[in-house]
Amino acid sequence: MHASPKSASHPGAAPRARKSTLETLPPGTRFGRYELLRRLAVGGMAELYLARATGIEGFEKLVALKRILPQNAENDDFVRMFLDEARLSATIQHANVAQVYDIGRCDDGLFFTMEYVHGEDLRTLMQTLAKRGRSFPLEHALAAVIGACAGLHAAHERRGPDGRPLGIVHRDVSPSNVLVSYDGCVKLIDFGIAKAQRRQTETRAGTLKGKIAYMSPEQCMGVDLDRRSDVFSLGVVLYELTTGVRLFPVENEYAALRQIVDQDAPPPSRRKQGYPPELEQIVLRALRRDRAERYASAEELQLDLEQFVRTRGLAVSSAQLGYFMRELFPARALEQPTAPPPAHGPPPMAVPVSPIVAP
């Protein structure tokens, strides 16, 4: 997501990676000590691969490798954004945040590696359950949101080397950015558009970043944000998981913006019969339009959810969540997250890697 460095090369290097978003680098392509296994996803600025890190004495570790798309590697803004994401994510050390391990420069751009989570995002879970005519079990919805709260609070509390708060605001908390592994671990991902004090790039005035359906009212209005904006976004996720419907089900983005800014959240009990009153109070507090009336932190939201769990005697745990994941995706859970080299197609490549020099 960012500027263009000179390519490193060496005698006898294999052919360069092809510069097309439509073409996947073949399995076996190497970025230094990382061997690509298969592409997981591609977006407008970067692509994500499952890769294997190798070392001495047979050392191996699966990682996710995020690579800036070659056509974006010559754009200074994209490069700075990409570096910002890697550096910012690497500062957050918490069990509920996917960890960043390494960053490097390849023949036609930049890449960084991070924790690979063998599981699914909440969006996939919601869609899968809906297709099967099932609702999201309350205890598992709460387990996922409690885990996301913990990871989000860790990011919000992060301080720089000088001891000053970094002022991190994720700005894109949504079901697609909360992963659940097949053993029940919850991981917050993608700080690509996060706001922080030490970023090299700033959002231009009047620019909206994030998924509109999960934006806070203040984010929709383009005003300065703090952690309470993320609390609202997570409240929307909690609302959807526990009611099975969108907070504001509209067909166009402008209408969604107007409703988020102008309308109070409909009580969940209007959307789902038998909705627990105590949980409704928690959800509606997280979704207050006036952020001064909202939870002041993700930790406060987490504590109230945990109190509700205890009061109700719900079986909320990573073990229970993992069992649910394996029941929902039995074949995927048993798959080895690797892929053999293809029998046909282009041969693997070795992409030269060089050290990063700060721009």
Q: Which two tokens stand for residue 125?
A: 């879970």
Integer Cα distance of 158 and 191 in angstroms: 13
Q: Which two tokens stand for residue 33?
A: 């000590």
Q: Which of 84, 107, 108, 172 is catalytic?
A: 172
Q: At which residue do the structure tokens 């409690």 appear?
A: 146
Q: What does the CA dihedral 258, 259, 264, 265 come to, rounded to 10 degrees?
A: -150
In the sheet with 186-188, reading across from the earlier edge strand, the strands are: 119-121, 178-181, 186-188
Assign 179 to helix, strand or coil. Answer: strand
Residues 6+ apart with CB under 8 A from 171: 193, 194, 195, 209, 210, 219, 225, 229, 230
| First and final C-alpha spacing in the chain | 14
The answer to whether 71 and 18 have CB atoms below 8 angstroms apart is no
The answer to whether 49 and 68 have CB atoms below 8 angstroms apart is no
Integer Cα distance of 48 and 41 in angstroms: 5
> 222: how many CB neighbours lie within 10 A of its CB?
14
- Annotated active-site residue 172? The verdict is yes
Task: Give the residue numbers annotated as catalytic, written as ranges.
Answer: 172
